Chain A
Amino acid sequence: MQILKPALVALAVAFGSTAHATAPELILSQSFSLSQAHSYLWTKEKPEITEGTIVVVGVESEDAQVRQVGGPVLYVGPVPAERVNNGDMDGAIIAFVPGHIDLSKTPIYWGPPTLPERVDEKAGAAALRSTRVAPHSKATIDALRKPAAQLNDTADLYRHLANLIDTHAPSERERAQGYRGGLR
């Protein structure tokens, strides 16, 4: 019988280093509130949220290519951000995280590849500790912050995000259309 060492092998090779990834550049941030809670599925805990922060970040095309395995995860602080577009064609990713985040104290960075649904608080904290990316300056944050949005529910949130896709990632207009309910 052979001796298998799959886990060691896989972990060493599957998730390549994210050192090459260029730190995302903030293009826009916007906090939002929801009248009806939204289930945030991009962490293991899957919290119900009524507040969140949207970020639009500029990225390198290669970093943004959404892969099935081995692609880096976009983090805001210790939390994987929910990406609502790919961003590789236009160089811009629209994403959001739970809570109203002070981005002058919270870095936006590419963290190690994994499935976001597997990231618990401990793993998120570890990702945050491992990054060398610094938060954006307060001046930058203030300059790029949009007024807070008051939204109704999940569908309303995605319609709002779809508008941001239209603006910042127009090549993905079809995806945005889906968030609005598809072709009608």
Chain B
Amino acid sequence: MPRLFLFLLFACNTKSAIVDNRNNDTADGRSTGDCEEPAGDLVCIDGAATICDADGEVASSEECKPAEQCVDDIGCTDCTAGATVLLSTEGSVAVVPVRPEASRTSFGWEKYHMRAVRLTVDAELKSGQINLDLAGETFTLWSSDGTQMDKSSSVAISSLPLEVLVGATGLGEASLTVTNPDCGADPAVLEFTSTQQPPITGYPLSDFPFFERVKVFNQNEVIRTTLDPARHTDRIGLPYKVYIVDHKSPAEWAADSALIDISLGTAEEGTVEADGVAENIVDAWIDEIPIPRGPSRPMDVIFDFNDNLQLDPGDIAIGPGDVQAGLTAVGDLAQTGPSSTTMFEHGSPPWNIQRVYYPENIADLGPVPLVVISHGNGHNYTWYDYLGYHLASWGYVVMAHTNNTGPGIETASTTTLTNTDSFLAAIDMVEDGVLSGQVDSSRIVWIGHSRGGEGVARAYDRMVDEGYSTYLYGPGDIILISSIAPTIFYSVEESDPHDRPYHLFAGAADGDVHGAPSSQYVQFFRILSAAESTSQMTYLQGVGHNEFNCCGFNDATGPDLIGREATQVVSKSYYLALIRAYASNDQAMMDFISRRADVFRPLGIADDVIIANTYRPDPEGEMQIIDDFQSGTTEGESAAGDSVIFDVDAVFEGTLADNDGTLNYRSSDPMNGMTQAGYSYDENRGLMFSWDTEGTATWLIPSSMRDFSTHTWISFRAAQITRHPNTQATAGSLSTTVVLVDGSGNEQGIAHHEFGGITTPYARSSSGGAGWSNEFNTIRLRISDFASGDSNVDTQDIVAVRIMMGPGFGSDVGAIGFDDLALEK
């Protein structure tokens, strides 16, 4: 506080604290005869507030206290440097989201993810400086104009009050010490911690972690938000408003931070409750979300803590500054898109005839990706109109060609290769050049069906392994290969998608390429296993071979057949999602691929369609394997090099290959029904075990891998063993509980049934039994969820991963194949 009032008190001679020292020496030995300032002025002499009289003597002198500084005309003034984290409760540890990309260039939007610190001193202090010292390796200090400051910096007191920003580029803790070096006061010290901010939208769960955090919803779902008070301890008790706004680019957010809620017209209000995640759930958008254009609506979500209708540093924001929106609502992907379409045919017979579908407004869309469809044996290039028109209506050029599948796979692959080339060569000449310059030959998707499905993998292999020359595109231009129920006549070294993202579509009721172990040529899962990059599978119960086209004979075999129309809804939906994700960088669509389809699927697909699905990101750089069973040679050793401890039945580690060619279960064939591998060049290995009561499988984590917090997911894939007595007893989706154990012995489990289960094998019968292929499903759990709420688990020090089974942890009994326990970015 200014001390001017003290001067006034002194003038009235009523301030006893200030001593009249006239004709005396001061206590510190200063002479009373050297007061040269005008009489009556308050001046600072040697740090003391001094008044001279007309004789040049010291009329009075006040020694300032340690936390005070003398100011001319003012007197002793509080000199304590003040520092406050805005939008935070006083005295708390401020939480800073990790944003590795913050830079001078990106500051315009990255600032919103930093915490603002207001620096103050007493208003009367006009000179000098205060020192800032930020201690914390992963933290950065910024001025409000976007200049990154040294972690030890000085700020002129004359510029105060002002705000500086604290950002975090990685996980850690930090303290900011603010000192006035001319002041004896204690420095101000602020504490910070950084955290990966997970999505704040999602679904309530009945069990821990009580909220599944996702960014992507179907448009008919209620959008709910929550904050974890255990994560945001500095917000407890603070009111907020939840804004859902249309997604803006980083530059747009930098230019305009206004918050305009689009949900119910008003932002939902709340207060951060201390109790838990569930208590902080807010229904942010209840009604169906309108989608004005495109298949989805990208939005951003902001918790505004100062109710100023602006996004500020210190608000909690998901989406601003990111390529992917904070929230995406997706419409019915099976519905026709916004573009009118045209189809034409051209080419030379017999194996270079092409049916081409394109959006009529292609000139407005710019170069668009090319989707090539290679049909199967006995099929025809005209049989995929449903998919061609559909994808064209969403802005893609689709070319279905005559495919020479009759002789075999080599000829099929040749026609895929040559038709892709000849189409690109013909672009300027067909349809009066309407496609000229409008097809992006660096974004080509190959879809093949059946022999054509193997053909597209074979075609890619010929390009990269056998030097097959193409003219107008190369291997790097094939951005996705998708096979529908592919044969596998060749080895997976020959029909090999190599480093390309690969997708497998198949039906469990397929009466032709049926996937069962009785024939090596139908074991399409092996191509999926061979894929080196991102791989994904969509496996449909009740679907035969020819439902994926218009006109093939009815081969579907098994119960609960869904028919051609429903299958093509699935096909249209998933292909649009896949192609938008891979060819148009629409990352929101990957949720349909990476989340279990039993809990999240495209809107148009009926709930009773049973879909098994797997997703594995690119192992190169995006995964850290705990155990894929490829390098550990015994059940007791993981690929990561540490121990595995089992308390379950019938543990068997080996090649994922049925060894007797039948689906009927025998204990001598522990990998019954597995068709993921088979040969020396195709030795995909995994684990099998079963349980009749409580059981555990525990992977100890080597010290080099214990920081799980740098990853987003822990995942594994599992399949129920077909026709195993425990599978028959389960008779439905199977679940377990995943537990993380830290170095202090804290542990936290998440039962994955609400995140998705492990499908029961399709009840198709043969040889006196019922149950078809082992259907792998990928279970992915968010690592930060294990540390949410009242969990004490330290995800930076995980020493064990335990799968718990049996009553209380999931299905009472079970028998599963298990593979690819991993951490994912």
Contact = CB atoms under 8 A, between A and B. Distances in A.
Contact of B408 (A4, A6, A116): A116
Contacts of A14: 518-522
B406 A181 contact: no
A5 B377 contact: no
Contacts of B410: 117
B657 A4 contact: yes
Interface band, chain A: 35 or more
Interface band, chain B: 35 or more
Contacts of B755: none
Given A4-B657, A174-B380, A183-B344, A155 B408 contact: no
A86 interface: yes
Interface string A150-181: 00001100110000000000000011001111
B471 interface: no
Contacts of A83: 406
Contacts of A1: 654-655
Contact of B381 (A88, A155, A159, A178): A178
Interface string A87-118: 01000000000000000000000000001111
A147 interface: no
Interface in A28-74: 41-42, 65-70
Contact of B346 (A2, A70, A174, A182): A182
A2 B519 contact: no
Contacts of B350: 84, 154-155, 158, 178-179
Contact of A2 (B353, B404, B654): B654
A122 B553 CA distance: 33
Contacts of A183: 344-345, 355
A180 B519 contact: no
B176 to A, nearest CB: 59
A142 B271 CA distance: 95
A92 B519 CA distance: 29
A59 B354 CA distance: 30
B517 to A, nearest CB: 7
B518 A9 contact: yes
B349 A68 contact: no
A10 B349 contact: no
Residue of B346, B409, B487, B553 with most chain A CB atoms under a 10 A cut-off: B553
A184 interface: yes
B519 A10 contact: yes
B559 interface: no
B350 to A, nearest CB: 4
B378 interface: yes
A65 B660 contact: no
Given A6-B678, A13-B518, A66-B378, A117 B407 contact: yes
A139 interface: no
Contact of A9 (B345, B409, B655, B661): B661
Contacts of A154: 349-350
B215 interface: no
Interface string B398-431: 0000101011111100000000000000000000
Nearest to A3: B659
Given A159-B349, A178-B353, A68 B404 contact: no
Given A115-B408, A155-B350, A4 B553 contact: no
Nearest to A178: B353
Interface in B658-678: 659-661, 669-671, 678
Contacts of B407: 41-42, 82, 115-117
Nearest to A157: B350
Interface string B290-312: 00000000000000000000000
A62 B661 CA distance: 26
Nearest to A118: B408
Interface string A9-25: 11011110000000000
A174 B520 contact: no
Contact of A65 (B380, B489, B518, B553): B553
A155 B349 CA distance: 6
B348 interface: yes
A178 B346 CA distance: 10
A2 B380 CA distance: 42
Given A10-B521, A115-B489, A2 B659 contact: yes
Nearest to B520: A10
Given A70-B512, A83-B406, A158-B349, 9 more contacts: A6-B657, A9-B518, A10-B661, A14-B520, A68-B485, A68-B512, A155-B349, A174-B382, A178-B402
Q: 9 closest A-B pairs (Cβ-Cβ)?
A: A66-B378, A14-B519, A9-B661, A115-B408, A182-B345, A10-B520, A117-B408, A13-B518, A117-B407
25 contacts: A1-B655, A2-B655, A5-B659, A5-B661, A6-B678, A10-B518, A10-B520, A13-B661, A14-B522, A66-B378, A68-B485, A69-B513, A70-B519, A82-B407, A83-B406, A115-B407, A115-B408, A116-B406, A117-B408, A117-B410, A154-B349, A155-B350, A178-B381, A183-B344, A184-B345
